[in-house]
Structure 1
Amino acid sequence: MKLFSLENPLIPINYDLKFIIDPSSNNFNGIAKITLKKNNNTTSFNKFKLHGKDLSINSAKLNDSIQLNCTNLPDQQQILFESVNDIVAQFEKENLILTIEYTGKIHDVKTPRDKTIGLFKSNFMKGNTGAIANNYIFATHCQPSFARLLFPCIDEPAIKTHFNLSIEAPTSYKIVSVSKQSNKESIDNNVSITTFEKTTLLPTSLFGFTLGDLEEIHIDLPMDNNNMLPIHIYSPLNVTQATYTLDIVQKYLPLIQNFFKFKFPSNKLDFVLLPFLNDMVMENFTMITVQMDFLLFNSSSLTNPAIRNQTTQLVVHELVHQWIGNYISFNSWEYLPFNESFATFLAYYLISKNDPDNNIWQSDNYLQTELATTLIQDSDLPNSKSIHDMYHSNQKQRSSNDLITTNDIFDPISYQKGIAMLRSLQLTIGEDLFSNAIAETFNDTESFHNVPIKPMDIFNKMGHSLKSENITNFVSSWTRLPGLPIVSVETSRNETSKILETTLTQHRFYSDENIDPDFKQETIEDVPYHIALLTQLPGKIKDTKNTLMTDRSLKLGYLITLLNSNAQGYYRVSYETQECYDELCKELTLGNIDDISLLKIFQDLSFFIGNKYFQKNVHINGLLQILNHIASSPKDVTLNTINLWKSICEGLSILQTIVQAAVVHNRRAIINKITKLVTKLSEKVPDWSIETLSQIDNIYELNTISKMIALTSTTTMTQTLCQDLFKHIRQGPNNSVPIELVSSIYMSISYQMTNIKDWKKLYELVKSSSGIASHIIDHSSTSDNEKFITLQNLAITNLGFVTTEELIKKLLNFIDTNIAAAGIENAFIGVNYNAQIIINKKDNLKIRDAVWKWFKLHFNVWKKNLANGTTGQEKLEKITFMVLQMFVESGKMIEKYENFEDIKPVWESLQHEDRANVTIISGLSK
């Protein structure tokens, strides 16, 4: 991308800015004295441009003598400055001073939807006096390119300059900026001029100021050599509720300084809380602006650990930015994801290291919500791109008039991938070496502060410091290659030494969901990645011999237990020999595999099983072997003692996927096998009493038990248990049954129904569940109404597991009568599951036969009644899909249906989605 600054004959090196702000006006007046130097080999010129939007230029002149004509170019968001005569630029030591007097716009912000860009103001009311809201706060927001709304400039991150600032405003206002206040001088009783110290070198995006009716709290933080750093928090309201932020700053600012081995890059730090801010948080240099709801908390709110943890992450992230992103800044907005990745990575690292109750690297939010989600998104073969290509390929064609925000140029996959890359690199290098190498960049002021940089400049410096080419090669691999790798692990015995050895092989991993049927695997780009192996050896020993894989394959002369320990790497691992699973089971017995590592093994298996390009028979067998191994452990070993709830919950989810494939393709033997396995595993839950179940607050333990109930719902043991639990659901007492168990309990109860009287017990809860809500334990903070709806939906979803002809007819009549009702299609889930069960032995009538007859009878009526609106059409498609899924192996019969053309798109979609089921069944058959 060609930079505007490279085309201009003059480049700013200093902005001397004065703003005159009148609270009663919708505009501000500005005076900008801009020091300019010549650009490259410029000799003479008579015109040049600066960025400017919504600015009305009153006068402009160079060196107080050359009057300039000004033309606004709104389509380019620029201002053209022209002189009648040529301007000679044959100056080496002498710079030009451009003086501009102008008027700009103050954006009035009254709701969260209003744009907080350039200079904006909000009015608010203090207290509950009923008075007019005549208190004001003015603030700026310049990122990514809104400085041009404040003053004429070159508004690009590739240029860093100094800023001198003065503001003329009401004397009563507190004024905060990106440098320390140096003076405040009264003009009259009501108006003063406040001046600020010259800033360090900054891009325009990090400039800013705030002023208005602000309260403040502050501390002086001791730093190196007993120097005190003043820390202020300003807010229009309730500023004392921000004291927790001061606690965080006191703890973590010295830790960040120690990590970088470079003092805090300013002589003050401010947080300014604003009523509205579209970006929620902005890391202006030493003046961090935050939407005030993020940092104002009463004492009761701070008892919530989630709020404390989120606040700590936010504050530490913004503190990190003062070093990386601000003092060291990047020369293009394409590096925004990396800038954010680094701040988040370092915040996560420091918090995890210094807060024993908040290990983010092993938290559900990081491993499940952030990392696991990104791995899924980055596996989409048609769409996944490299970090390098993502910015350019994802940019929409926008006119220069568009107000492009940071959200428009931010790519979440690149961001999360960057965090994982940095974490892997740190673990491979070692924490101290990583910190030392990063710290060396700050000693090179000329290269890393005076000019904006590329992220690779940091890694080149690190590689030079550590005398290793692997640093830059590693980072280049992860930024230049799309997607993510899969590493296959094979263990075999050396024929000569008889020692077990390990061979690793890597390829690019991808989901097969969106791949065209004609896709040929050999056409994929499959360049080897540089992979941080994070290997665990037998005995829970970290492998320090082979830490990095850079080629297609790597042979290790020894046995390993697992790769990607603690799930910190950005890749999937495929264990592909029986010996791998034997070793895993052995180490499980010894307690050498933790819940996170086993969870990652199962998560990876869940993406191999059903994927026709990566599933291997050993994957399903290995899954069953591990779960059988846990189920067969000594009697005194319970799931509580081994504490593997997260991983076992994931393993049972895979079994549910396998069971669903077996149901669709009528493989009852597979279902029976899994039922026996889970029954055996459920014996490791020592106490199934209502008293014990009601006391469980571990969500994974509850979900594991729920899956066990669902997978064994036809067994006598589970049905007896569920009869008792269902009684407590209906009759109480209060807080008897956790909501996580309700669906599987309903499923088992539905299986047991034999007459209308039984059916009505669950049917009543479909009509209304308000009467049982108090009996249900719900750890979430949902409203009563949301709880009622959730319980009703659970009743609908499980109403269809009935297996008698009378109840099937009753159910189908209920669905038809309520076909337009929200969620009614979910009643088909159980019907679909039991499709092959015979409900009339005399006529050899299966459930699916009764459903097909009923479907054909009503389809045309539904098509007419549900035709209007997207919701009705989607409902009909869902019902059609579940009905047709009962006949997935009976294609000829479906194609003979008289309305086949109407259902053909759904049938084709079903054939596509059934590929995973076919792959699973083929693996089980072999």
Structure 2
Amino acid sequence: MFNAQLIRSRLVVELRAIAILVNITRSNIMKLLSLENPLIPSQYDLNIEIDPLNTKFNGIITITLNKNKNIININEFSKFKLHGKNLSITSAVLLNDDNTTINLKVTPVIDQEQFLFESHELLSLNDNKYRLTIEYQGTINQVKTPNDKTHGLFISNFMKNDIANNYILATHCQPSFARLIFPCIDELSIKTSFILTIKSLRRFSTVSVSKIDSIVENDDESSNMKTTVFEKTELLPTSLFGFVIGDLEEIHLDLPSTSKDSTNLPITIYSPLKVTQATYTLDIVQKYLPLLSKFFNCKFPSNKLDFVLLPFLNDMVMENFTMITVQMDFLLFTPQSLANTSVRNQTIQLVVHELVHQWMGNYISFNSWEYLPFNESFATFLAYYLISQNDSDNNVWATDNYLQNELGMAMIQDSDLPTSKSIHDSYHQRTNFTTTTTTDLTTNDLFDPISYQKGIAMLRMLQLSMGEDLFQNAMAQVFEDKDTFHNIPVKPMDIFHKMGQVLKSENVTNFVSSWTRLPGLPIVSVQTEIDEASKSLKSTLTQHRFYSSENIDPEFNQDTIEDTPYHITLLTQLPGKLNDTRNTLMTDRSLKLDYPVTLLNCNSQGYYRVSYETQECYDEICKELTLGNIDDISLFKIFQDISFFLGNKFFQKSIHISGTMQILNHIASSPKDITLKSLTLWKSLSEGLSLLQTIVQAAVVHNRRAIITKITKLVTKLSEKVDDWSVETLSQVHDSYELSSLSKIIALTSTTKPTEEICQELFKHIRQGPKDLIPIELVSSIYMTVSYQMTSIKDWKKLFELVKTSSGIASHIIDFNSTSENEKIITLQNLAITNLGFVTTEELITRLLNFIDTNIAAGGIENAFIGANYNAQVIINKKDNTKVRDAVWKWFKLHYSGWKRNLTKNGASDGRGEEKLEKITFMVLQMFVESSKLIEKYEKFEEIKPVWETLQREDRSNCTIISGFSK
């Protein structure tokens, strides 16, 4: 069955790139055989005999060995080494140029996964070529579950047509598992050719990294064996070698040649089952393989391409040269599955990513696992680019998956100052992580998504800075130089150096060096002001390193951090929606422009944040909004960056808050005939309203009612720009950002009469129907509003009943994300609990607190406190000025000891009870952040002190926000 989440996670898991780079320890780097061995392989002739009923296989390999050019001043040798693990060598014979046979002594060096070969006499290194023939036996790894290791040569059997003895045997050599299949130098720094011969069952299909040259079936009619000989391969590292044999079905197409001197390219997909469900992969290959040939100005680097689908593969996908192996769930789809746009898009990304590898990573390969981050980043970058260019409905660069889940999450993690590392340092940190031998590590153990995502962003920024055509032309010239970039493994910087030579610019290598050597990410401050002399607007850009303040000690000194200027692709939009072609790259601390800018990082493609810091900046933004010159993504990016400045004492400025208010007020004040729907700014509006919610939350905690009132007035103006609040209209809204915006508008105006009336009507339909009427995205804010307005037990019970069960209303709710009706019911119950406590009468508060106390051990019960926390300062008894928080504090002190005893006892095994108690304590204490003396007088203060101290630390961001708003 297809699992969409697995496909997405594959773009994490398959990034063996970043994980694999750690598989070689610093001690192993110093022991590379390619540096110390007197002989280096130039070709492997491998003969393997495989019987699927046997746990062993027999092999004979003849290795052509040449003098190691890294060895100088040594002309004779008597011993050398090859990698090998779980192999049993029975004989090793060396033949020199004079056809002299030398029998070798073979000694396993188990701790180094090597064999030592020794001659009884000294042998010459002077221009001699040796042929080493080894007879040996290897192990076939049995794989029966997804948890079994698919390393080296492994076998799976599967059921087909009620027959269980169907077999598939496959190899996986990356990063260092070729040594489990044959003796070799199993390192990236060596590229060799392979000639493979396999003897196995006659019924088996046989696939490898080159075309079949011949098939010889045994003349003995009683024999069920055949011998398959494959053509000599292109130059490859051992990690890209492989073969598959077994009971396989196949589908096939011939891709017309894009070159006059080439024949058609055969494309074949093999699968143990249901291979016809893989036809979509053929469609993708047929479309994108010619596009890749055109991009690189280099035809496909072999004479065939195969996809082999396997029942099990730990790395999910492996880009062996011309023989891509894939866990079969990822490419087998029913027509119903392919009707899902997300499934199709993810499959395109997967297949094109692997196709890119055939050129970058395979044809051009790298001499160290250190460079796998670049290898994988490039494959994803180019796949995203080509898909976005050639599929009008799939601009990957503009999707939430890229901007939020990939680029956005990497930037968040890279802002954490204590843990942020450069791509370069991240590698070296991992090479020191362990001294375990390479084959004991898995790719998941040491995965670093930040380096991978940062690499994609770096390549995208470089492409946009150079210009897409120049980037492509320079890359094509790299592939023209076969001697430099194919015959020997390279470093990524060799590619960028070549591109720089083509463009006659040092900025290419300097740009890449900047983004691989510097940690973290930059923030660019924009100050647009009127120049007094010319009376015209001019802008000044200033860059520094950006970091979040959450995990920084209060005594932190900003002067202690590395703050070297980055090379930043500005992506500037000027007034009139013009692109700035004069200043595209910022390399210094500051840059003065004699003209105003509207936006930096247009379309959110850069790996940096932008801080607009003068009134004139926001005036220009509002002016361009009026003209329709700012799109939804760019405005969203303005608000999103501000969201990371809010509460950050190092970077928040009061202009960020007033600027946000100005933009939203500008939208709310647009002409009456312009509605929110007509503006099509739902994504950015949702983010802008989230900023207001953050400010409101800080104001609630510190009882700044004037701030809340001001924001309520602003959002009320926005609510009036909604086309229609009727149930019929809302039931037709399916856009997630529109629904998110509407929900936030309701929540931020929940105390107003118009919103109350709207929500009373909507709440009635939630309870009574009809079917599929209210989008689930609106339910929470509707509950919140009606809860806030409740004054009687009768009204409160209407919502309370939905806490106990929401099965009766589930059919009235539209939810496109729930996988089952039961999941929807649980979600609705949780929403009812979360909003039950927004009541503001003494009687209902008492009811709420009794309900929480009675169900204190229930899952999620602490969420019922959210409303009481929000209304902490509301007076519920005018006679003695009792506030919500007073009632809660009295109740908390009465029950705390009993909760602690019961919750910690009942939840001692997994810590959930203690965690629940901490959450409740936190929310109660948050009502008193400015009343420390009251809390510290509590007789059990020492018990709650850790939570109080945590609250004080986390409240610093609220204090910063309040301070910024006040200014």
Q: TM-score, normalised by structure 1?
A: 0.98
Tell me which residue corresponds to 1:55.
87
Moved more, 133-142 or 2-11: 2-11
Tell me which residue corresponds to 1:16.
45
Are positions 1:922 and 2:963 aligned together?
yes
CA distance in 2, matches of 1:62, 1:344: 44
Tell me which residue corresponds to 1:391.
427
Q: Which amino acid aligns with 2:314?
A: N
Task: Give, in angstroms, the shift of residue 372 of structure 1.
Answer: 0.9
Give SS of 1:156's match: coil
Task: Give, in angstroms, the shift of residue 356 of structure 1.
Answer: 0.4
Are positions 1:90 and 2:131 aligned together?
no
1:333-732 to 2 correspondence within 5 Å? Answer: 333-395=369-431, 396-400=433-437, 402-732=439-769
Tell me, yes or no, if the aligned pair for 2:37 and 2:81 is still in contact at 8 Å.
yes
CA distance in 1, matches of 2:310, 2:671: 60
CA distance in 1, matches of 2:48, 2:890: 78
Task: Give, in angstroms, the shift of residue 68 of structure 1.
Answer: 2.1
CA distance in 1, matches of 2:933, 2:80: 74
Tell me which residue corresponds to 2:927.
886
Tell me, yes or no, if the aligned pair for 1:333 and 1:409 is still in contact at 8 Å.
no
Give SS of 1:502's match: strand
Task: Give, in angstroms, the shift of residue 904 of structure 1.
Answer: 1.2
Tell me which residue corresponds to 2:285.
249
Tell me, yes or no, if the aligned pair for 1:746 and 1:795 is still in contact at 8 Å.
yes
Q: Which amino acid aligns with 1:207?
A: F
1:729-744 to 2 correspondence within 5 Å? Answer: 729-744=766-781
Tell me which residue corresponds to 1:124.
158
Task: Give, in angstroms, the shift of residue 31 of structure 1.
Answer: 1.1
Cα 1:501–1:311, aligned 2, differ >3 Å: closer, same or farther? same
Give SS of 2:591's match: strand
Q: Which amino acid aligns with 1:91?
A: N
Tell me which residue corresponds to 1:45.
77
CA distance in 1, matches of 2:530, 2:314: 60
CA distance in 2, matches of 1:587, 1:641: 16
Tell me which residue corresponds to 1:273.
309
Give SS of 1:610's match: coil
CA distance in 2, matches of 1:783, 1:86: 75
Q: Which amino acid aligns with 1:190?
A: N
Give SS of 1:176's match: strand
Task: Give, in angstroms, the shift of residue 402 of structure 1.
Answer: 4.9
Q: Which amino acid aligns with 2:130?
A: L
Q: % of aligned pairs identical? A: 73
CA distance in 2, matches of 1:743, 1:89: 82
Moved more, 182-191 or 697-706: 182-191
Give SS of 1:635's match: coil
Task: Give, in angstroms, the shift of residue 241 of structure 1.
Answer: 0.9
Tell me which residue corresponds to 1:912.
953
CA distance in 1, matches of 2:965, 2:841: 30
Tell me which residue corresponds to 2:254.
220
Tell me, yes or no, if the aligned pair for 1:160 and 1:450 is still in contact at 8 Å.
yes
Tell me which residue corresponds to 2:188.
157
Tell me, yes or no, if the aligned pair for 2:77 and 2:125 is still in contact at 8 Å.
no
2:349 to 304, 313, 322: 313
1:296 to 284, 307, 332: 332
CA distance in 1, matches of 2:240, 2:440: 17
Moved more, 469-478 or 25-34: 25-34
Task: Give, in angstroms, the shift of residue 239 of structure 1.
Answer: 0.7
CA distance in 1, matches of 2:85, 2:872: 66
Question: Structure 1: 5+ residue runs without aligned partners?
Answer: none
Give SS of 2:160's match: coil
Task: Provide Cα deviations, 1:87-135, integer angstroms capped at 9, x if missing partner.
Answer: 323321x2111211111111111111111111111111113xxx34111
Q: Which amino acid aligns with 1:197?
A: E
1:873 to 909, 914, 930: 914
CA distance in 1, matches of 2:872, 2:33: 66
Are positions 1:777 and 2:814 aligned together?
yes
CA distance in 2, matches of 1:449, 1:588: 50
CA distance in 2, matches of 1:757, 1:86: 101
Task: Provide Cα deviations, 1:291-336, integer angstroms capped at 9, x if missing partner.
Answer: 1111111112111111111111111111110000000011111211
CA distance in 2, matches of 1:541, 1:391: 40
Are positions 1:749 and 2:778 aligned together?
no
Give SS of 1:58's match: strand
Tell me, yes or no, if the aligned pair for 1:218 and 1:233 is still in contact at 8 Å.
yes
Moved more, 49-58 or 679-688: 49-58
1:191 to 213, 221, 225: 225
Tell me, yes or no, if the aligned pair for 1:144 and 1:404 is still in contact at 8 Å.
no
Task: Provide Cα deviations, 1:536-594, integer angstroms capped at 9, x if missing partner.
Answer: 01110111000000000000010111100000111000000000000000000000000
Q: Which amino acid aligns with 1:585?
A: C
Tell me, yes or no, if the aligned pair for 2:177 and 2:439 is still in contact at 8 Å.
no
Task: Provide Cα deviations, 1:590-619, integer angstroms capped at 9, x if missing partner.
Answer: 000000000000000000111000001100
Tell me, yes or no, if the aligned pair for 1:743 and 1:795 is still in contact at 8 Å.
yes
Tell me, yes or no, if the aligned pair for 2:251 and 2:269 is still in contact at 8 Å.
yes
Are positions 1:174 and 2:174 aligned together?
no
Cα 1:545–1:766, aligned 2, differ >3 Å: closer, same or farther? same
Cα 1:89–1:908, aligned 2, differ >3 Å: closer, same or farther? farther
Q: Which amino acid aligns with 1:805?
A: E
CA distance in 1, matches of 2:248, 2:501: 48
CA distance in 2, matches of 1:351, 1:887: 54
Q: Which amino acid aligns with 1:88?
A: L
CA distance in 2, matches of 1:446, 1:410: 33
CA distance in 2, matches of 1:177, 1:409: 30
Q: Which amino acid aligns with 1:232?
A: T
CA distance in 2, matches of 1:331, 1:840: 75
Tell me which residue corresponds to 2:57.
28
Task: Give, in angstroms, the shift of residue 407 of structure 1.
Answer: 3.3
Task: Give, in angstroms, the shift of residue 401 of structure 1.
Answer: 6.4
Tell me, yes or no, if the aligned pair for 2:208 and 2:243 is still in contact at 8 Å.
yes
CA distance in 2, matches of 1:921, 1:826: 25
Tell me which residue corresponds to 2:171.
140
Give SS of 1:54's match: coil
Q: Between Structure 1 and Structure 2, how many residues are aligned?
A: 921
CA distance in 2, matches of 1:822, 1:533: 48
Task: Give, in angstroms, the shift of residue 65 of structure 1.
Answer: 2.5
Give SS of 1:98's match: strand
CA distance in 2, matches of 1:840, 1:74: 80
Moved more, 7-16 or 401-410: 401-410
Task: Give, in angstroms, the shift of residue 404 of structure 1.
Answer: 2.1
Structure ranking higher on relative contact order (CA contacts 8 Å, 6+ apart) = 2
